[in-house]
Structure 1
Amino acid sequence: MSTTSQPGAGSPGNATVPGRPGLMLAMATLGFAVTFWAWALLGPLGSTLRERLDLTAFEQALLVAVPVLVGSLGRIPVGALTDRLGARTMFPAAAALTVLPVLFLGHLADSLTAYLIGGFFLGLGGTTFAIGVPFVNAWFPPERRGSALGVFGAGMGGTAIAAFSTVQLATAFGPAFPFDLVAGVLLAYAVVAWLVLRDRPDRTIAPGSVWTRLGAVLRLPATWQLSFLYAVAFGGFVAFSVYLPTYLTSDFDLEKADAAMRTAGFVVLAVAMRPVGGWLSDRFDAVKVLLAAYGLAVVLAVVAALRLPLVPVGTVAFLGLALALGLGTGAVFALVARLVPPERVGAVTGVVGAAGGLGGFFPPLVMGSIYGLTGSYTIGFLLLAATAAAAAALAGTVVRRRVAVPA
């Protein structure tokens, strides 16, 4: 399939723009972290909002899951638009537009309906993953893309910032303060990104309309295989990051601040493992990394289902799950860089990223429903174990063959 390029030149090693790949990677990672911070604002406040708005367990789960759903599905058009318009346009635009729902939630939302509306538009912050992956992919040669994308993926640590700070800031300075702070940071990043970000001059641009390009990537078998793998790895991470505070307060009677800090520890470890997963995939075999990650997730999900004491067994199980899911997210996108043509990376990333977000949308709803019906989360953890086992089977068979003979 033919492609067009922007004017300009640049070697694969970027010799004509010394030092720029590192700067571009740093700016993309910062933008990803800032927008994910905004995207995750409602999760740590779930228990507080449940009390303030008198919500059921399902309504609370829905409230924190709506931004995940919208941020996931929004990655599909945003990824395709990034292939066409470039990250220099898309990153500042996404950051600036996310300010609006952040301020709405901080100052105007006062009912479940209002929070659902605000959460819907807050989902825009979750779409920036599909902007950064093709941008970083274009700036680095194939042998370094796994590591570079792993570093970029560490920007999902924005959810850790939200987990560490939201409840504490709201308690110390008032409920609107975390939202005002995030809005200011988003605006500052939008300005700096517009001034500093540059798309690689010779990046390839897929021809045709957004819908034509989406149709093309949806016909790629690799798109669907990678989507399932990412739905399990990143979806599991997102689900824990938004629902773990609720689980810890309801099942282990922890204080909200304590549950939020423990969740932040989970998020930090998962974030730290993402670049490790990319690095290991560059140096060894991404499929082997995935098999190890999903295999560990199966074992630890079963341990979590047993509801053993939180200290030490439960803590070890959850931190082990963070490690496994973090490694898995890094390895999946090492495979994206390996299996997808450069001009399609944005569109494929949009679809795969959407699958990952959807993987995080449904578990909180399932967990809330299961807890409401049974008073226990055991079935939910067993479902996680079964899903991780299916992902391991897919990675070890179909995906392994595709890596050996790329399409």
Structure 2
Amino acid sequence: MGISIIKSQTAQAKSVLAANTIAFTACFAVWVMFSIIGIPIKELLSLNNTQFGILVATPILTGSIFRLPVGMMTDKFGGRVVYLTLLLTVLTPLWFIGSATQYWQFLVLGLLVGVAGASFTVGIAYTSKWFDKKNQGFAMGIFGAGNAGAAITNFVAPAILLSFGWQMVPKIYAMAMVVVVISYWMFTYTDPDHKHASKVTIKEQLQILRDPKVWKYMQYYSLVFGGFVGLSLWMTKYYINEYGFDLKTAALLGAIFVLPSGVVRALGGWFADKYGAYKVTWWVMWVSLTCLFFMSYPQTALLIKTTTGEVKFDIGLNVWVFTALLFTLGVSWGFGKASVFKFLSDEYPDNIGVVSGVVGMAGGLGGFTLPIIFGALIDYTGINSVIFMLLYGATAVSLVWMYFTFAKEKKIKHTQEARTKALKEYATTHDNPNDVIAAQAVLEQIDLIEEFNKKYNEFKQAHTK
């Protein structure tokens, strides 16, 4: 239990939200630390782009895999004890990264430090249970703003690196994490009523994977969060290679994508509360598709032979137009990260720890695989903007999937609403209650006939050679 001076439930909820957000910000800064220190390590070890991709993605792997079991433990034991344990687990390997000298050592320590990425699942579940449904989206959006920890790394890590060497970055981060652990212990609280799933087995909790809606949300989140993590890890290097900036300037430009994407998540949660998760996610996909279309175009030199000689045209995005598009993409993904979890809090309020763990794991795995694919594609094609071509294709798939799945659900919903309205109008024009009961029976029979036809057609198709 935290300090006793805070007694009211509302004040404790705000204290938990603040402590969770700060801890998540610190964890996220640690999680993407290799995006900065990985650049001098790449030069030190003479790594190619694929090896660099593996290096920066390694912490993302364990952070993703541990999201599911951490979500289960949060439902079972409560968020406070799980979060504290996770923070303590990260300290030792984080400190020793500064003493590593070989590639395999960085990979092993990266895997251990990557557990910090699982903090999102415990934090989102722990936070949501302190707020009512009306305010959950906004509260989870504030917590999710901890993604801005990636921007802290973009601001702070280059300054430490240039002043003291890359080895001091993980050591200073470890010392800062000790302060976070102490503060978290002091300002968080436990409510026994939040442990809804304490008697539910792991097998029963995993039944959530049988719900096709969960897989849909996993796909959305693998784009808006996985893409965010992937680009957060890659953009500093992209600015260095594509536009020739030094490390410090490249990291600051990369923060233009990272910072707003994390901060506006709270605003995205508010919009999802007000306008609905579907509308927000739909517009996020369209804005993303538009930005990625232009960002995908590679720097091109067009040589035209004219009557007066050859004329050369340079076609491509200059750094300022590119950065503006990157900023817009970051803001849209910030909204998207909040709207996806608004879906989850609305549909799975009693199992939010497990379902957020599953969806968060999918997003994290997207963030793990993308940097590796980025490196492999660049090594193969030699085109830096190929990473945006990949994301453009993934966004197009998400839009198509979203259109067809939600269109079907909306059609069913509208049909049910129309039948209910028709039945009410019929009841107002007929005084005989038997007539109303008969009309209601007819509507129910229609549903049964439609279900029968569906089952019959499925049976017929299965047994037709």
With the length of structure 2 as denominator, give the TM-score of the two structures. 0.80
Corresponding position: 1:54 with 2:46: yes
Q: Which has the larger radius of gyration?
A: 2
Q: Does 1:144 align with 2:135?
A: yes
Cα offset for 1:155? 0.7
Q: Is structure 2 residue 350 aligned with structure 1 residue 339?
A: no
Alignment-derived partner of residue 7 in structure 1: none
In 2, Cα distance between the equivalents of 1:269 and 1:193? 25
Which structure is richer in relative contact order (CA contacts within 8 A, separation 6 or more)?
Answer: 1
Q: Distance in 2 between matches of 1:54 and 1:31?
A: 34
The CA deviation at 1:215 is 1.8
Q: 1:117 to 1:123 in 2, by over 3 A?
A: same
Q: CA deviation at 1:221?
A: 2.2
Gaps of 5+ in 2: 1-6, 299-315, 414-465
C-alpha separation between the residues in 1 aligned to 2:264 and 2:294? Answer: 21
Q: CA RMSD in A?
A: 1.8
Equivalent of 1:95, from 75, 87, 99?
A: 87
Q: Does 1:205 align with 2:213?
A: no
Amino acid at match of 2:393: A
SS in 1 for 2:9: coil
Once the two structures are TM-superposed, the CA of residue 16 in structure 1 deviates from its matched residue by: 5.7
* Superposition map of 1:122-201 within 5 A: 122-201=113-192
8 Å CA contact 1:44, 1:166 repeated in 2: yes
Q: Cα distance, 1:278 vs. partner?
A: 0.8
Moved more, 369-378 or 306-315: 306-315
Deviations 1:271-309 (A, max 9, x none): 122111111010112111111111111111111111323
Paired position in structure 2 for 1:248: 239
CA 1:222–1:204 in 2, change beyond 3 Å: closer, same or farther?
Answer: farther
Aligned twin of 2:308: none
Deviation at 1:74, TM superposition (A): 1.0
Percent of aligned pairs sharing the same letter: 28
1:23 & 1:397 partners in 2: Cα distance? 42
Q: Does 1:302 align with 2:298?
A: no
Aligned to 1:235: 226
Q: Residues of 1 paired with 2:138 and 2:9: CA distance? A: 20
2:67 and 2:360 in contact (8 A); partners too: yes
CA 1:210–1:111 in 2, change beyond 3 Å: closer, same or farther? Answer: farther
**Which of 373, 383, 388 is 2:380 aligned to?**
373
**Aligned residues between the structures:** 389
8 Å Cα contact 1:266/1:322 also seen in 2: yes
Rounded Cα–Cα distance in structure 2 between residues aligned with 1:133 and 1:279 = 16
Whole-angstrom distance in 1 between the partners of 2:231 and 2:402: 23
Q: Does 1:385 align with 2:392?
A: yes
User: Could you say which residue in structure 2 is the equivalent of 1:325?
Assistant: 333
In structure 1, the residue matched to 2:71 is 79
Residue of structure 2 in register with 1:121 after alignment:
112
Q: Separation in 2 of the partners of 1:316 and 1:18?
A: 40
Within 1, Cα distance between the matches of 2:47 and 2:288? 32
CA contact (8 A) 1:213 1:347 kept: no
Name 1:290's counterpart in structure 2: 281
SS of the counterpart of 2:225? helix
Range that drifts further, 202-211 or 136-145:
202-211
Deviation at residue 211 of structure 1 after TM alignment: 2.5
Structure 1: gaps (5+ residues): 1-14
Matches of 2:195 and 2:409 in 1, distance apart? 24
Change (3 A) 1:252 1:266: same
- Once residues 169 and 183 of structure 2 are traced to their aligned partners in structure 1, the CA distance between those partners, rounded to angstroms, is 21
Q: Which residue of 321, 324, 337 maps to 1:316?
A: 324
